[in-house]
Amino acid sequence: MARVWIFGPDINTDQIVPGRYAPYMLKNEDDLRKYPFIEHRPDFASNVRPGDIIVAGNNFGCGSSREYAPLALRMVDIGAIIAPLFARIFFRNALNLGIPCFTADLTAELRDGQEVELDLERGRIHTDDGRSIQLPPPPAFLREVWAAGGVVPFYRKYGRFPGEG
């Protein structure tokens, strides 16, 4: 089972990882795994478990181009991020790192700490109270990138860019 972490709207990249905690500023770059939401939600990094899901409000990941924001989330093995709208650079960075992002508003459907099961293959969430929520399927070319594990493995495997014929 995965746990749900609920976040509000307009979560910006400074809230995900403040610039002061960039790998550039760190003695040991692996320490980045300790810093997702360090100031916005200090209990996150120490309690998050592999496969947990972030369920957020509108405009998740707005702000900077810093890929170390989604990278920090990948380092703690986030299973997916679900929000009604993603800021475009964040969405692209997450895609490039192979983090599944689904466009849906589930902040009212799920509660913080709820146990759920994510069926990535079918794009479905099964909740601990017996509900099944269908997530909108992302475009095929994005699914191909996730399946490859990110844009670099995708490019190395196919020798082309996402969406390129």
Partner 1 sequence: MAQTLSEQILSHAAGRPVSAGEVVTVNVDLVMMHDSLSPSIIRVLHEELGAERVWDPQRVAVVIDHVAPAASVQTAEKQAEVRRWVRTQGITHLFDVGRGISHPVLVEEGLARPGMVIVGSDSHSTAYGCVGAFGTGMGTTDIALAAATGRTWFRVPETVLVHAQGRFRPGVSAKDLALKAARMLRADGATYAAVEWHGVEFLGVMERMTLATLSIEVGAKAGIVPPTGLLQTVPEWLRVEEGTRYSRVVEIDLDDLEPQVSAPHTVDNVIDLRDLGRVAVDVVYLGTCTNGHYEDMAAAARILRGRRLAPGVRMLVVPASAQALQLAAEDGTLATLLAAGATIGTPGCGACIGRHMGVLAPGEVCLFTGNRNFRGRMGSPEARIYLASPEVAAATALTGYITHPQEVVDGRYPEL
According to DSSP, the β-strands at 115-119 and 124-127 are antiparallel
From the list 56, 65, 69, the residue with the least C-alpha distance to 89 is 65
Q: How far is 39 from 90, CA to CA, in rounded Å?
A: 19
What is the per-residue binding string for partner 1 in 91-130, x denoting contact by CB under 8 A? -xx--xx---------------------------------
CB-wise, 5 or 21, nearer to partner 1? 21
Cβ at position 157, least distance to partner 1 in Å: 12
- The yes or no reply on residue 62 touching partner 1 (CB under 8 A) is yes
Is the CB of residue 2 less than 8 Å from the CB of residue 119? Answer: no
What is the per-residue binding string for partner 1 in 129-158, x denoting contact by CB under 8 A? ------------x--------xxx--xx--
Q: How far is CA 14 from the centre of its chain?
A: 15
Cβ at position 53, least distance to partner 1 in Å: 22
Cβ at position 148, least distance to partner 1 in Å: 13
Q: Which of residues 12-41 bind partner 1 (CB under 8 A)?
A: 12, 14-15, 18-20, 22-27, 39-40
Q: How far is 54 from 81, CA to CA, in rounded Å?
A: 5
Cβ at position 129, least distance to partner 1 in Å: 31
Angle at 98 between CA 153 and CA 107, to 5 degrees: 170
Q: Which of residues 76-95 bind partner 1 (CB under 8 A)?
A: 85-89, 92-93
Scan for tokens 């770059």, then name that residue: 29
> Residue type at 130?
G
From the list 121, 123, 126, the residue with the least C-alpha distance to 4 is 126
Binding site for partner 1 (CB under 8 A): 10, 12, 14-15, 18-20, 22-27, 39-40, 58-59, 62-68, 70, 85-89, 92-93, 96-97, 141, 150-152, 155-156, 160-164
